[in-house]
Amino acid sequence: MSSPTASSPAATPSAAASPGSIGFNDCSRALNVAGSGIPSERLDRLSFDCGKLQVPLDYDRPDGETITVEVLRVHSREQVKRIGSLLVDPGGPGGSGIVLAVNLAGGLSDTMLSSFDLIGFDPRGVGLSTPIRCTSDADEDRLLALDPDVRTAAGFAEAKQATATVAQACTAKYRSALEHYNTVETARDMDRIRDAVGDDKMNYLGFSYGTQLGAVYAHLFPARIRAMVLDGAVDPTTTGDAIRANDQQIKGFEQAFDQFAAHCAARPACAALGQPRAAVQALRARANAAPIGSSRSGETRKATGGIVLYAVLSALYSEREWPALDAALLDARRGNAKELFELVDNYSNRSTDGSFANLLDVFLVVTCNDQPTDPADAVIKATAQRWATQYPLFGLWSATSLFQCQSWQKSRHPVPVPTAAGSPPILVVGNLHDPATPYSGAVNLTRALTTGVLLTWDGQGHTSYGQSRCIDNAVDDYLLEQNIPAANTTCPR
Distance CA 161, CA 151 (A): 15
Taking the C-alpha atoms of residue 287 and residue 309, their distance in angstroms, rounded to an integer, is: 11
Nearest to 97 by CA among 76, 74, 65: 74
Dist. CA 68–CA 327, nearest whole Å? 43
- CA neighbor of 231 nearest in space, from 208, 254, 214: 208
* Contact predicate 1/104, CB 8 Å: yes
Judge contact between 96 and 102, C-beta under 8 A.
no
**Residue 61: strand, helix, or coil:** coil
CB atoms under 10 Å from CB of 155, counted, come to 18
For 239, which DSSP code? T
What is the identity of the amino acid at 447?
R
| C-alpha to C-alpha distance for 321 and 342, rounded to whole angstroms | 12
**Four-residue CA torsion sign, 317, 320, 324, 326:** positive
Beta pairing class for 116-121 and 66-76: antiparallel
Q: Are 428 and 449 in contact (CB under 8 A)?
A: yes
β-pair partners for 202: 225
Amino acid at 78: E
Q: What residues are labeled active site?
A: 208, 434, 462
Q: What is the DSSP letter of 49?
A: E
